[in-house]
């Protein structure tokens, strides 16, 4: 039996099984088996002769990478052309784009690479069409924009999310706060800070036994499902912010637009008429959580034209030095900082100091 056939059998059995406390262990085993089969499908062994999960060979440039994902003919190519000025062929028939077309957004001093990915189809996570390449490239992005047709947004949204989830991409989610540690002996030790958690001891033991793990410590800091535990054990999941760009809004009424407006992470656009493209670019910048740091040479004014752009999670003075040049940190003595991150202006700080948006930094080297 092929891997795809095994996946279909397990999915059918899961659909037949009622969800309750008594079946949680059995469902946990099925979900663990499903995760292992998907990993086998998407990452075949080197000797197996199958295609790897490699994406398109597009060099990562700029301060961040954003991928346009969606079904064929939803307007991804037009969106790329209008926002970046990079031509990507658009036509009234499906699969116009057959490879990955990169463009560049320049906004508030940041350079953001935008990728127009070929349209995906149902079954992309199982290798249909170019789905494996598309989703592999999407995994390398700092932000995903799912482009939806305004006439069927919810249907397409659920289908695309299902395809991305099957490839280990978690949209607009944080990694589960589950502490998981294998050990040599002592059995399974399961604790939770949540009273009556959804995940009980039987389900935990069932999932771990499927992975042949019989000695481990598992601690939950919040209430989680079996799927979250499997994600932690697999360890290959990526957590990426996502914007839903609902395109072609010129085809619907104001009332319908108001209904769509209730979607979280939603941005209405019309690429053809260039409606709300500035709003989408602003949303991209906000979701990427980029901060701009301005350099100040000694005795001169700050360079306002070319900020150093850092992700909000890695914005220490040391990160700033490494972005300028790897050798700078070896010569680093201290930095003078002007801005909201310090009480005094300027203030002398060390390499661990956390910078915020629009800080000004002057580096002082060792003599």
pTM reported for the whole predicted model: 0.86
Which SS3 state, helix, strand or coil, does residue 239 take? strand
β-pair type (169-171, 238-240): parallel
Note the pLDDT of residue 99. Answer: 77
Q: What angle do CA 335, 336, 337 make, to 5 degrees?
A: 110
pLDDT at 21 over 90: no
**pLDDT > 90: what percent of the chain?**
62
Q: What pLDDT band is residue 2 in, cutting at 50, 70 and 90?
A: confident
Note the pLDDT of residue 54. Answer: 58
pLDDT at 251 over 70: yes
pLDDT at 24 over 80: yes
Alpha-carbon dihedral sign for residues 47, 49, 52, 56: positive
Please return the burial class of 98, using the count of CB atoms within 10 Å of its CB with bins 0-12, 13-18 and 19+.
exposed
pLDDT in tens, 303-347: 998 999 999 989 999 999 999 998 999 999 999 999 999 999 999
Note the pLDDT of residue 7. Answer: 87
Note the pLDDT of residue 92. Answer: 47
pLDDT at 96 over 80: no
End-to-end CA gap in the chain: 69
Q: Locate tokens 């001169």: which residue?
A: 300
Q: What pLDDT band is residue 45 in, cutting at 50, 70 and 90?
A: very low
> Taking Cα atoms as reference points, which of 292, 314, 318 lies closest to residue 305?
292
pLDDT at 46 over 50: no
pLDDT in tens, 196-243: 888 889 899 999 999 999 999 999 999 999 999 999 999 989 999 999
Q: What pLDDT band is residue 123 in, cutting at 50, 70 and 90?
A: low
Which of 55-69, 183-197, 204-218, 276-290 is predicted with the least confidence, judged by mean pLDDT?
55-69
What CATH number should be reported for the domain whose range is 290-365?
Answer: 3.10.20.30
pLDDT in tens, 133-152: 888 888 999 999 999 999 88
β-pair type (169-171, 266-268): unpaired
Region 276-295: mean pLDDT is 96
Note the pLDDT of residue 88. Answer: 67
Note the pLDDT of residue 118. Answer: 84
Note the pLDDT of residue 44. Answer: 53
Region 94-101: mean pLDDT is 62
Region 70-89: mean pLDDT is 87
Task: Name the residue ranges covered by the structural domains of the chain.
Answer: 3-50+176-234, 64-173+238-288, 290-365
Contact 283, 266 (CB under 8 A): no
> How far, in Å, CA of 157 to CA of 29, rounded?
28
Note the pLDDT of residue 167. Answer: 83
Note the pLDDT of residue 277. Answer: 96
Please return the burial class of 336, using the count of CB atoms within 10 Å of its CB with bins 0-12, 13-18 and 19+.
middle
**pLDDT > 70: what percent of the chain?**
90
Note the pLDDT of residue 5. Answer: 87
> How far, in Å, CA of 293 to CA of 12, rounded?
53
> How far, in Å, CA of 188 to CA of 31, rounded?
19
Note the pLDDT of residue 47. Answer: 40
What CATH number should be reported for the domain whose range is 64-173+238-288?
Answer: 3.40.50.300
Please, how many CA atoms are within 13 Å of residue 64, restricted to the half-sphere of its CB? 27
pLDDT at 248 over 60: yes
How high does pLDDT run on average in the chain? 88
């Amino acid at each position: 039996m092929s891997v795809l056939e095994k996946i279909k059998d397990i999915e059918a059995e899961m659909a037949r099984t009622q969800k309750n406390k008594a079946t949680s262990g059995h469902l946990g085993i099925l979900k663990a088996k499903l995760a292992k089969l998907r990993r086998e499908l998407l990452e075949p062994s080197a000797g197996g002769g199958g295609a790897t999960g490699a994406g398109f060979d597009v060099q990562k440039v700029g301060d961040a990478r954003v991928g346009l994902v969606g079904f064929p003919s939803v307007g991804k190519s037009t969106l790329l052309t209008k926002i970046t000025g990079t031509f990507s062929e658009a036509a009234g028939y499906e699969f116009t784009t057959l490879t990955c077309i990169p463009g560049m957004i320049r906004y508030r001093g940041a350079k953001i690479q935008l990728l127009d990915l070929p349209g995906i189809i149902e079954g992309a996570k199982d290798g249909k069409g170019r789905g494996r390449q598309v989703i592999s490239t999407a995994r390398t992005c700092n932000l995903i924009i799912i482009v939806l047709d305004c006439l069927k947004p919810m249907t397409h949204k659920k289908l695309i999310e299902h395809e991305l989830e099957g490839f280990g991409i978690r949209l607009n989610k944080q990694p589960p706060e589950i502490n998981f540690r294998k050990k040599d002996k002592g059995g399974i030790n399961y604790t939770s800070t949540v009273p009556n958690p959804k995940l009980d001891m039987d389900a935990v033991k069932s999932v771990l036994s499927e992975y042949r793990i019989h000695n481990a410590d598992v601690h939950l800091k919040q209430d989680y499902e079996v799927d979250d535990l499997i994600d932690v054990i697999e360890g290959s999941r990526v957590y990426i912010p996502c914007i839903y760009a609902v395109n072609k809004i010129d085809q619907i009424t104001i009332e319908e637009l108001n209904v769509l407006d209730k979607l979280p992470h939603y941005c209405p656009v019309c690429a053809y008429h260039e409606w709300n493209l500035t709003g989408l670019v602003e949303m991209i910048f906000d979701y990427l959580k980029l901060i701009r740091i301005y350099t100040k040479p000694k005795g001169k004014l700050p360079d306002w034209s070319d900020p150093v752009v850092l992700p909000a999670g890695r914005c220490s003075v040391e990160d700033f030095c490494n972005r300028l040049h790897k050798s700078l940190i070896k010569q680093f003595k201290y930095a003078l900082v002007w801005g909201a991150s310090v009480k005094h202006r300027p203030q002398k700080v060390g390499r661990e100091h956390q910078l915020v948006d629009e800080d000004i930094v002057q580096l002082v080297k060792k003599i």
